[in-house]
């Protein structure tokens, strides 16, 4: 038996500290739960932690950290929703994590839940236990869980987290779905053009070459193109691969990425999708963090890492520096010149009313609605444009072949 110093919270969220005697951490946590308290930390006797950590849970933890895949946003939302439902049903944290090891949670393997369960039993907080798995739980997730532990509102925070990641997953799914059909049409068109130029057209050209007939201009152009494709198709493929590799290397470099991300925010059609996506992501993330009590500087830093646009990341970094100097959020946002006036004005109103998270949440909903409209408009415009372009190219090739055939037919008739 050993003495354990513990910190816990009661149903009202008040911090309770004390000392109890138990055989091990698991027994100490059971006693704390029996008292109707939510354990925040349990300090074990010296040496016991390393012994426990080298126990049965070490193998599954090593198994997961060997090379795990990052869970998708929907997988993370499902895991969080299941955990929140178990805690909301009245189960203690250890019981909920024990149940999570048996539940189907795609993307987050049971080994993670087992490791979390063992760490919590050893006296770690849930946020500290999750911090050992950064590939599964990002910084935003950890900070919101930590805020829930501090405020004693873990269930509410987990529900908000699940809602947050479900919205992000929905936005990503909408953008992906909207781009599937145009990309399919473009890929199919290019494949048909390549097959026609490489295999079908050379056979027609072989027939035309055997005729002593002056071919039309369109047919002569096709003849030159067909000959080039047939002789140097391998060179075209090599050039395409080399060009793709060079473009990828350039756009992953700091300067190239900055140019690309800046272009996404200003390009005529693409910006109608990119801007509401990025601005909604910024507002949703920052609002969720601040709503759960995360300090504004920490929230801005996490949001900077969440938003996948280096131009916006730079603007958020400048905003964080401005807030450090004692300014409000709206002032440095306006000075950056990147964020729209609507966002600056609503954040400013939120600061005046003392409810910035609500203002950011309203902004996120506004940009989500704008994104839905923009996706419909852009896909409606792109689809016919692609079809017309492909039809013009294929039509030119067919006209070149048919004109030559008519010319040959007419010359035969004259003779």
- How does pLDDT run across 274-296, given as a tens digit for each residue? 999 999 989 998 998 888 888 88
- Do 47 and 171 lie in one domain? The reply is no
Q: Is 390 exposed, middle or buried (0-12, 13-18, 19+ CB in 10 A)?
A: middle
For residue 108, tell me if it sits in a domain.
no
The whole-number pLDDT of residue 39 equals 67
pLDDT tens for each residue of 239-253: 989 999 999 999 999
Query: 298 with 279: CB under 8 angstroms?
Result: no
CA-to-CA dists, residue 202 to 147, 208, 219, angstroms = 69, 10, 12
Distance CA 140, CA 161 (A): 9
Closest CA to 42 of 126, 99, 155: 126
Paired tokens of 346: 């609503």
For residue 64, tell me if it sits in a domain.
no
The whole-number pLDDT of residue 348 equals 92
Query: 286 with 367: CB under 8 angstroms?
Result: no
For residue 144, tell me if it sits in a domain.
no
For residue 331, tell me if it sits in a domain.
yes
Confidence band, pLDDT 50/70/90 cuts, at residue 52: very low
Task: Quote the percentage of the chain above a pLDDT of 70.
Answer: 87
Query: 400 with 216: CB under 8 angstroms?
Result: yes
pLDDT tens for each residue of 78-102: 999 999 999 998 889 988 888 888 8
Domain that holds residue 30: 1-54
Place of tokens 């959020």: 329
Prediction pTM value: 0.67
Asked if pLDDT for residue 236 goes beyond 90, the answer is: no
- Do 39 and 179 lie in one domain? The reply is no
- Do 405 and 263 lie in one domain? The reply is yes
- Do 173 and 48 lie in one domain? The reply is no
Place of tokens 């002032």: 331
Calculate mean pLDDT across residues 32-52.
Answer: 59
Q: State the DSSP string of 269-280.
A: TTHHHHHHHHHH
Q: Is 43 helix (H, G, I), strand (E, B) or coil?
A: strand
Asked if pLDDT for residue 72 goes beyond 70, the answer is: yes
Calculate mean pLDDT across residues 228-239.
Answer: 84
Asked if pLDDT for residue 46 goes beyond 70, the answer is: no
Distance CA 354, CA 393 (A): 59
Interior angle at CA 255, CA 252 and CA 258, nearest 5? 80
Q: Which of 13, 32, 54 is the last residue of a domain?
A: 54
pLDDT tens for each residue of 154-186: 898 899 889 988 988 888 888 888 888 888 888
pLDDT tens for each residue of 200-221: 877 877 777 777 777 888 888 8
Confidence band, pLDDT 50/70/90 cuts, at residue 370: very high
Interior angle at CA 268, CA 266 and CA 269, nearest 5? 115
The whole-number pLDDT of residue 56 equals 37
Asked if pLDDT for residue 105 goes beyond 90, the answer is: no
Interior angle at CA 317, CA 312 and CA 322, nearest 5? 125
For residue 404, tell me if it sits in a domain.
yes
Paired tokens of 177: 């779905």
Least confident of 19-28, 346-355, 360-369: 19-28
Q: For residue 331, what is the domain's CATH number?
A: 1.20.81.30
- Do 221 and 342 lie in one domain? The reply is yes
Distance CA 99, CA 79 (A): 12
The tally of domains found in the chain comes to 2
Calculate mean pLDDT across residues 296-314.
Answer: 90
Paired tokens of 243: 């060009």
For residue 140, tell me if it sits in a domain.
no
Of the spans 38-47, 66-75, 314-323, which averages the highest pLDDT?
A: 314-323
Interior angle at CA 125, CA 124 and CA 126, nearest 5? 115
For residue 96, tell me if it sits in a domain.
no
Asked if pLDDT for residue 9 goes beyond 60, the answer is: yes
For residue 155, tell me if it sits in a domain.
no
Strands 2-9 and 38-43: antiparallel
């Amino acid at each position: 038996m050993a003495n354990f110093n513990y910190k816990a919270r009661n149903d009202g969220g008040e911090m309770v500290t004390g000392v109890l005697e138990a055989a091990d951490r698991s027994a100490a946590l059971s006693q704390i739960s029996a008292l109707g308290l939510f354990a925040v930390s349990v300090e074990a006797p010296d040496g016991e932690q390393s012994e426990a950590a080298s126990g049965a849970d070490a193998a599954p933890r090593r198994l997961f950290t060997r090379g795990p895949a990052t869970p998708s946003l929907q997988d993370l939302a499902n895991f969080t929703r299941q955990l929140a439902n178990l805690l909301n049903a009245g189960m203690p944290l250890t019981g909920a994590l024990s149940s999570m090891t048996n539940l189907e949670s795609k993307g987050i393997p049971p080994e993670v839940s087992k490791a979390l369960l063992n760490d919590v039993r050893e006296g770690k907080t849930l946020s500290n236990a999750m911090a050992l798995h950064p590939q599964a739980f990002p910084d935003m997730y950890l900070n919101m869980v930590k805020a829930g532990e501090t405020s004693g509102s873990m269930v509410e925070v987990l529900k908000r987290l699940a809602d947050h990641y479900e919205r992000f997953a929905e936005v990503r799914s909408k953008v992906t779905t909207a781009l599937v059909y145009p990309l399919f049409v473009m890929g199919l068109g290019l494949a048909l053009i390549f097959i026609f130029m490489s295999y079908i057209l050379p056979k027609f050209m072989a027939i035309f070459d055997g005729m002593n007939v002056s071919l039309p201009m369109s047919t002569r152009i096709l003849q030159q193109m067909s000959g080039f494709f047939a002789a140097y198709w391998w060179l075209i493929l090599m050039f395409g691969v080399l060009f793709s590799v060079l473009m990828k290397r350039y756009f992953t470099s700091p300067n190239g990425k900055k140019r690309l991300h800046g272009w996404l925010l200003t390009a005529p059609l693409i910006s109608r999708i990119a801007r509401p996506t990025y601005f909604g992501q910024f507002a949703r993330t920052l609002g969720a963090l601040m709503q759960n009590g995360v300090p504004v500087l920490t929230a801005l830093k996490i949001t900077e890492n969440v938003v996948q646009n280096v131009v916006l990341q730079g603007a958020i970094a400048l905003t964080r520096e401005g807030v450090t100097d004692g300014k409000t959020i709206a002032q440095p946002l306006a000075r950056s010149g990147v964020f729209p006036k609507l966002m600056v004005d609503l954040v400013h109103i939120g600061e005046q009313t003392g409810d910035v998270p609500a203002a950011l949440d309203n902004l996120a909903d506004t940009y989500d609605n704008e994104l839905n409209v923009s996706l419909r408009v852009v896909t409606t415009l792109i689809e016919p444009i692609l079809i017309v372009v492909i039809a013009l190219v294929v039509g030119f090739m067919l006209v070149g072949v048919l004109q030559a055939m008519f010319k040959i037919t007419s010359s035969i008739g004259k003779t």
